[in-house]
Amino acid sequence: MPKNKKRTSLTLYQRIHNREKPYECGDCGKAFRVRQQLTFHQRIHTGEKPYECKECGKAFRQCAHLSRHQRIHASDKLLECKRCGKIFTCGADLRVHQRIHVGEKPYDCKECGKAFRVRGQLNLHQRIHTGEKPYECKECGKTFRQYAHLTRHQRLNIAEKCYECRDCGQAFLCSTGLRVHHKLHTGEKPYDCKECGKAFRVRQQLTLHQRIHTGEKPYDCKECGKTFSRAYHLTLHQRIHTGEKPYECKECQKFFRRYSELISHQGIHIGEKPYDCKECGKAFRLFSQLTQHQSIHFGEKPYKCKECEKTFRLLSQLTQHQSIHTGEKPYDCKECGKAFRLHSSLIQHQRIHSGEKPYKCKECKKAFRQHSHLTYHQRVHKVTK
């Protein structure tokens, strides 16, 4: 090995050992061990993408990114995940993806123990503990942990860069999001399921739906062995075992496992129900609630139980029903060990131990563990009036 190359390797090794990063970005302050890394990084700020694909014209900041992209055009070099069929252009991406199926998360946070599949996710997470926010908005001075968050913030602040729906005024950060959203107004659903005829606005929704018919559930829970058709459903399920509830309501400090549960809950505080049913006038806090409700009028029940042929409007209803046949009760009370088929039943039961009574009567201030108990109680006041 030439002397100058040996010296460079030694210098780089010493910087890793000493955690020295002498090359600093003048825009955001991020530091690097190697000058070339700084050069690549600065293209984020300048927007420079000097490497262009001759096949489709797409441009990239790094030559390595172009090389990876070009494999898309060379079909013989594509790699397929045997569990779910997803296609990748390089082995490293496939290996990271396969960790979803086996549940492998090799990168642990030393502060809180949370684990991640990719080192980059760990690096971003650690900024929560350190408070580091290296990306600053030049317009208002607000700082962000991730560059993507800064970009999103800047688009929201610059009206001409937003894509606004002419029908309802909702704004989107990219034209793709607007196109998908616009199908809500037009009713366009170009992707049909050949098994049951159900149509979808987005191809990915069709792919996920088809797993209902094939029974494919490629995502396994290591704790209890339960399988899921979607990675997101596995993530939500794992929070049952870990007890993690990352979404907090700022009004009442209640925590939730899902962001959608938080949004739905917040409607209690503001009382807003912006989505009206054109058939009966009933209003809902969430668009998904309206969609579910409308199937009552249409009589649509696309989800059938293979055991007893009973049909359901919602996949979640079918899943709950199937536990009657299997006898499965996956939700255990940590206080007394009693098991339940439904998570909502466990939540109601736990209030016996905690004494929590979240539903309060406005007339007499009496509190109840369940909303149905409050509704039944309120009839007393109606009779006396």
Mean pLDDT of 300-325: 80
Q: Which of 362, 313, 323 is nearest to 344 (CA)?
A: 323
Structure confidence at residue 312 as a pLDDT band (50, 70, 90): confident
**303, β-bridge pairs:** 312
Q: What percent of the chain has pLDDT over 70?
A: 87
Tokens of 221: 């829970």
- Residue 350 clears pLDDT 80, i.e. is over it: yes
Q: Which residues contact residue 236 at a Cβ distance below 8 angstroms, ignoring those fewer than 6 apart?
A: 257, 258
The predicted model scores a pTM of 0.34
In whole numbers, what is the pLDDT of the chain averaged over residues?
78
| Residue 190 confidence (pLDDT) above 70 | yes
Query: Greater confidence, 16 or 43?
Result: 43
Predicted local distance difference test score (pLDDT) of residue 157: 62
DSSP 331: E
- In tens, the pLDDT along 65-90 reads 887 777 666 655 677 787 777 777 77
Q: How many CA atoms lie within 13 A of 50 on its CB side?
A: 7
Asked whether 352 and 335 are in contact (CB, 8 A), the reply is: no
Radius of gyration for the alpha carbons in the chain, expressed in angstroms and rounded: 26
Q: Are 69 and 55 in contact (CB under 8 A)?
A: no
280 CB contacts (<8 Å, ≥6 apart)?
Answer: 297
pLDDT band of residue 385 (cuts 50, 70, 90) is: low
The predicted pLDDT at position 205 comes to 82
pLDDT at 15 over 80: no
CA 78 – CA 57 distance, rounded (Å) = 20
Q: How far apart, in whole angstroms, are the C-alpha atoms of residue 181 and residue 192?
A: 18
User: Per-residue pLDDT for 355 more than 80?
Assistant: yes
Cβ contact 219:230 at 8 Å: yes
Give the closest residue to 167 by CA, choosing from 178, 154, 155: 178
Q: Widest CA span of the chain, in angstroms? A: 97
> What are the C-alpha distances in Å from 164 to residues 156, 169, 177, 276?
11, 6, 10, 22
Residues 114-120 have a mean pLDDT of: 82
**9-23, 170-184, 362-376: the lowest-pLDDT one:** 9-23
pLDDT of 3 above 60: no
Mean pLDDT of the region 248-263: 77
Query: What are the start-end ranges of the H helices in the chain?
Result: 3-18, 35-46, 63-70, 91-102, 119-130, 147-157, 175-186, 203-214, 231-242, 259-270, 287-298, 315-326, 343-354, 371-384
Confidence of residue 159 (pLDDT cuts 50, 70, 90): very low
Q: How confident is the model at residue 173 (pLDDT cuts 50, 70, 90)?
A: low
